[in-house]
Amino acid sequence: MRIQGAKRVQYGGGDMLTPKVSPLRLSVIFALVALALAGCGGDSDSPAAASAPPTGPSDASAFVGTTIEINPTIAFFAGGTITYYNVVASTILPGASVPVGGTYTYTPSADLLSGTLTLTMPTIDRSITFTLSGFKHQNGKITSFTATASGQNYTSQITSGTLAAGTAAASGGSTSGGSSSAGSSPSGGTPAPAQGAEYIYAASVSGGPYTDGQRVNFTFNRDAGDATKNTLQFSGKTLTNPKVDNTLTAPYSLNTFVDSAASVTYEVVLKDGAIYEINIVTGGAFKGQFTPASAGSSSGGSSSGGSSSGGSSLPAGALAAGTTFTRSVGTKIVAPTSTVPADVPNYNSGQQVTFTINSAGAITFSGLTVPYSADGGTALTYNQVLSPGNSNTVIVYKNLTTGAPTSVALQFIRTSGTLPPVVTMVDYTLN
């Protein structure tokens, strides 16, 4: 279906269709619309920390799910990925009249009072390094800070999402996860309360250890003093000694457990210390993903909206299970080279692609299954983090009167394992 009255805008040497009937800029394609300003000041955290200087994020994962106005608008996603949008270009901050994808890293100082944020955007061949300092807090969350690049200071605001303030180690120990997390637990190795709930499996390909729609109860036990002592319990098993990755943007982190007996790897993505999603990998290949079976789970992941025990419960705003629609490929952009990675669909202009919503609310197409993420009001977002630096994102625009799907935008990001890493982005619009 082609949108009537659409206009074209330039994007990295190509063009992309946007609906004329809606005042959308393409910044909504890979960043959720900012719902409200996160806050406007306040330097104090809590009574216990009132005398301590306001800290910044404890790691890169703290940024996940936020949108920050520095001068450009930067939206941060899991897997170390961003979109960068800037209509006021300068010699320091390059312009991007439509969002361009990229990656980011963040390295905090030992006392968490400052940090180095580096953005890399291959499609415009630029990298920017900011020094972040002067953090301001409100209710334990960062609301603003100063970003310095090439000697120029920029006042920065968090306009969407939560950027959690980290807690500096009191005696040289490592910081944990970058946020106060659920229920402050004592340090020194005391396990935090278990986070247990039912999760439903969305198969990405056949041949995995679980069937599409299968439900499993997982319990994640977090050790407040030593993350390598975290455990994952399910189906009578207890997996231990995870590989911990805190480089995801906060409030997300990654614990990877290996079930050696079954040759299955469980990549447990945490949000604020609780299970957000679990990626299933066998033989080095992604097979599918567990997400909360109902909105009432403790994961803090996908959305609110009435939950039910037993039956399939889709998040509020999501398309109904069984919804099917077909769209035609309009634009195709591959950067920095023209080679589409082997595990990414290689569509041609005019090719028809059929999308279906499965029982878990995930969108399936071309052998892929991408879980539902959020309702941005004008569009639905589906996001799948395969591993740090590798993700699939689907944006389904909807008719604002009927809620029916209209056009679709796809973005696939793949990062090579070479040094230096090569980030390839493949973008499609379908109408």
Q: pLDDT tens for residues 150-202?
A: 888 888 989 888 898 888 765 433 333 333 333 333 233 333 444 568 888 88
Residue 423's pLDDT is what? Answer: 86
Please, are residues 16 and 429 in contact by the beta-carbon 8 Å criterion?
A: yes
Please, are residues 115 and 130 in contact by the beta-carbon 8 Å criterion?
A: no
pLDDT higher than threshold 70 for residue 314: no
Stretch 256-277: mean pLDDT: 88
Distance between CA atoms of 360 and 376, rounded to whole angstroms?
A: 19
Amino acid at 18: T
pLDDT band at 31 (very low <50, low <70, confident <90, very high): very low
Most confident of the ranges 22-26, 78-82, 253-257: 253-257
Stretch 70-94: mean pLDDT: 83
Contacts 24+ apart (CB under 8 A), 209-215: 209/262, 209/264, 209/280, 209/282, 209/287, 210/280, 210/287, 210/288, 210/290, 212/288, 212/358, 212/359, 212/369, 213/312, 213/358, 213/359, 213/360, 215/293
Q: Which residue has the higher pLDDT, 30 or 65?
A: 65
Q: Tell which residue, 94, 69, 83, 68, has the closest CA to residue 31.
A: 83
Cβ neighbours of residue 342 closer than 8 Å, sequence gap 6 or more: none
pLDDT band at 335 (very low <50, low <70, confident <90, very high): confident
**Residue 324 C-alpha from the chain's centroid:** 25
Please, are residues 201 and 218 in contact by the beta-carbon 8 Å criterion?
A: no
What distances in angstroms separate CA 184 from CA 23, 45, 251, 275, 309, one per listed residue? 43, 14, 15, 17, 29
What are phi and psi for residue 96, nearest 5 degrees? -155, 100
Amino acid at 213: G
Q: Which residue has the higher pLDDT, 381 or 30?
A: 381
CA angle 28, 32, 36 (to 5 degrees): 115
Q: What pLDDT, in 10s, does the model give residues 365-385?
A: 999 999 888 777 778 889 888
Stretch 76-98: mean pLDDT: 82
Distance between CA atoms of 43 and 352, rounded to whole angstroms?
A: 53
For the whole prediction, is pTM greater than 0.85? no
Q: Pick the range with the lowest mean pLDDT from 179-188, 244-253, 276-285, 360-369.
A: 179-188
Most confident of the ranges 38-47, 172-181, 319-328, 380-389: 319-328
CA angle 328, 330, 335 (to 5 degrees): 130
Residue 86's pLDDT is what? Answer: 84
Distance between CA atoms of 203 and 290, rounded to whole angstroms?
A: 9
Residue 309's pLDDT is what? Answer: 32
Residue 366's pLDDT is what? Answer: 94
Stretch 274-295: mean pLDDT: 80
Stretch 344-354: mean pLDDT: 94
